[in-house]
Structure 1
Amino acid sequence: MIFRSLLTALFLALPSLVAATELLARADERMIMPEPKAPLSFDITEVLVKKSERRLYLLNGEEKVKSYRISLGDNPVGHKLYEGDERTPEGSYLLDWRNSNSDFYKSIHISYPNRDDREAAEAWGLKPGGSIMIHGLPNDAGDLAFAFTGLDWTNGCIAVTNEEIDEIWELVDDGTPIRILP
């Protein structure tokens, strides 16, 4: 009796097992792993930011090898003059250190302010500010990450997506020059 019940149950389940096996086989055919990215065969010699284009370029010599859409400070036009003006600086700096535990996904520090920046702010009786970074999205962005795209929302930093800061993090060494143009 038990044998007959088990045999009947197996007989009834057989079409479902066959269908599931066929479904898995078709899914396996569609699951093609992407080719691993080939390592770059050159060094990034400079980072170039064109604020008016909202673009950050990774350069090898004069050749643009990577390009990213960026977000800037809330007040993006003009050079950063003082702490709190929400402008992104313009000029030549270095990417001098990085922080994997910042308020943003990851961040790479820009060596602002330089001597000229400090002197200009002090002439106005102001502080030049600092902590200007290239960074990803805020750590608490969550489901709203999409809302940051295309907006100038930082306090003067240069923002990219988390995936893009991962790539920049890997490709750009500390000490790499960064040139920020209007």
Structure 2
Amino acid sequence: MTIDRRKILLAAPALLAACSGRKVLSYDGPQVTSIMAFKSQRRLYLMHGNKALKAYPFQLGFAPVGHKQFEGDGKTPEGAYIIDRRNPNSAYHLSVGISYPNDHDRAFAEAHGKSPGGEIFIHGTPRAFESKQDWTAGCIAVMNNEVEEIYSMVGDYTPVFVKA
């Protein structure tokens, strides 16, 4: 009997979420082939090819203009990344990780003697922040019911494009 390691790795987040008591939705629609986030519009799109499957409004880091350069700058990164991890036990309901910093981000910060930071996610919103604008430390925050959809629809290694 052959065990397909990729299937185990892809199933692990759902199993962990089931153990955590969080409800993880199932999704049986077209594959999400990329995520497009437009900071100036505060809109995130789950894409299948060039067709938007879903769109969500979002909140950004507390300093929303410009590309994240250093840890603690409050900016949300801009550029090309991938979904590289999941957190079914997130303090922000559920979350999917964005692969910031990339090599360019690290090199830029290092050249300035600083850390690029990290731990950038698409995540839910605690009740206390539901009416606040741009409150994260650099993440993309959607409502909790929306992050449940995103978590179920988006696979690991999905490309993420964050634009100004």
> Which TM-score band applies after superposition, normalised by the shorter structure?
0.7 to 0.9
Given the two structures, how large is their TM-score scaled by the length of structure 1?
0.73
Identify which range, 85-94 or 100-109, moves more after superposition: 100-109
Choose which of 143, 147, 152 in structure 1 pairs with 2:131: 147
* Residue 115 (structure 1) aligns with: 103
Choose which of 51, 70, 76 in structure 1 pairs with 2:64: 76
Given the two structures, how large is their TM-score scaled by the length of structure 2?
0.81
| Deviation (angstroms), 1:65 | 1.2
Asked if the contact 2:71–2:117 (Cα under 8 Å) also holds between the matched residues in 1, the reply is yes
Alignment of 1:176 onto 2:164: no
Q: Output one character per residue of 1:84-122: Cα deviation in whole Å (capped at 9) or x when no partner.
A: 000000000000110011221111100000000000001
Alignment of 1:166 onto 2:148: yes
Q: Distance in 2 between matches of 1:41 and 1:158?
A: 24
Q: Output one character per residue of 1:19-63: Cα deviation in whole Å (capped at 9) or x when no partner.
A: xxxxxxxxxxxxxxxxxxx95531100000000000000000011
* Residue 63 (structure 1) aligns with: 51
| Deviation (angstroms), 1:145 | 5.2
* Residue 138 (structure 2) aligns with: 156
User: Structure 1 residues 80 and 146, CA, compared in 2 at 3 Å: closer, same or farther?
Assistant: closer
User: Structure 1 residues 146 and 81, CA, compared in 2 at 3 Å: closer, same or farther?
Assistant: closer
Q: Distance in 2 between matches of 1:145 and 1:75?
A: 16
CA RMSD in angstroms comes to 1.7
Alignment of 1:89 onto 2:77: yes
Q: Distance in 1 between matches of 2:136 and 2:143?
A: 13
Q: Name the structure with the higher helix share.
A: 1
Q: Which has the larger radius of gyration?
A: 1
- Which stretches of structure 1, 4 residues or longer, exceed 4 Å deviation after superposition? none
Q: Distance in 1 between matches of 2:69 and 2:90?
A: 24
What 5-or-longer segments of structure 1 have no aligned partner?
Answer: 1-37
Asked if the contact 2:27–2:153 (Cα under 8 Å) also holds between the matched residues in 1, the reply is no
Q: Distance in 2 between matches of 1:99 and 1:87?
A: 21
- Say how many residue pairs are matched: 140
Aligned identity (percent) is: 48
Q: Distance in 2 between matches of 1:40 and 1:54?
A: 27
Q: Distance in 1 between matches of 2:28 and 2:139?
A: 27
Alignment of 1:105 onto 2:93: yes
What 5-or-longer segments of structure 2 have no aligned partner?
Answer: 1-25
